[in-house]
Amino acid sequence: MADLHSPYQNSQAFQLYTSNTDGKAKIAGYVASLAHHRFGQQGVLLDLGAGDGLLTKELAPTFSKIIAVERDPVFKDALGSIANVQPVIARMEELELPRSSYDVALLSYSFTGVLEGERERFLTRLWRAKSPNGFVLAVTFQDGCRWDRFADEIYSALGKTRSGGTRYHMRELQRCGWRAEVIRSIPTQIWAPNIEGLIDVLEYFFAKTDGEREIYRELAQSILPSYVDAGPEGSTGVDVVEDVLLIQPEHES
């Protein structure tokens, strides 16, 4: 696999994406309002699959403490540099979670990273560890939004199976004895100065190897123009609808 991109290249590509979207700020605004309503500034956030910490950083002022769990060590320093944040480099399935260790758990675009065979056990342990008034949220894209349709075309060309989206989450959670309710749908956008720039920004999602990169770039050149709208300050953007899901066991044990 000589052409597999390094974790560092992937983290650079992820950061290019996160700095060209209003999604993280908007999601943080909504999650912060929910948490503030229930816990004031005193809540503890368990940020599961925290990535580069952009979302974590936006949330930091609302919580007294954030435990940011991330399996990729490349993000450790970025997470550790945020005030109030305790980075934990681990797979979330492996966490030891004492009772009442958090008030809000957030799985923003990370539930799909939990190994399928371990989801049920992980969710059971996660639920037992929340504070009495705590809650668990997941964030994913809305099926059928522009972003989803564009991504579907690219994934088919790459011959790759896609996971994610609200329907996927509902189905997978149900399989584990859980249910999900969409509590907010947030219109967001990913943008760049022009189509060429947008192709670069979106590369993170599709191209982990040089072969995939070639297929992605060629197809994106021809189809991306039909998915874009005007972005901020004369830029070009693709619209995304992001769903915030409240997730809980079907039956309390």
Ligand X SMILES: C[S@@+](CC[C@H](N)C(=O)[O-])C[C@H]1O[C@@H](n2cnc3c(N)ncnc32)[C@H](O)[C@@H]1O
| Residues at the site binding ligand X, with contacts judged by CB under 6 A | 18, 24, 49-51, 54-55, 69-72, 91-93, 108-110, 113-114
Q: Fill in the amino acid letter for 3.
A: D
The least distance separating ligand X from the CB of residue 2, rounded to whole angstroms, comes to 23
The least distance separating ligand X from the CB of residue 206, rounded to whole angstroms, comes to 13
d(CA 82, CA 104): 18
Give the nearer residue to ligand X in terms of CB position, either 40 or 175. Answer: 175
Residue least distant from ligand X (Cβ) = 113
**In terms of C-beta density within 10 A (0-12 exposed, 13-18 middle, 19 or more buried), how is residue 109 classed?**
middle
Give the nearer residue to ligand X in terms of CB position, either 29 or 196. Answer: 29
Give the nearer residue to ligand X in terms of CB position, either 79 or 158. Answer: 79
Measuring CA to CA, which residue among 14, 119, 113 is closest to residue 69? 113
Structure tokens given for 147: 């972003």
The least distance separating ligand X from the CB of residue 12, rounded to whole angstroms, comes to 13
Give the nearer residue to ligand X in terms of CB position, either 137 or 219. Answer: 137
The least distance separating ligand X from the CB of residue 181, rounded to whole angstroms, comes to 20
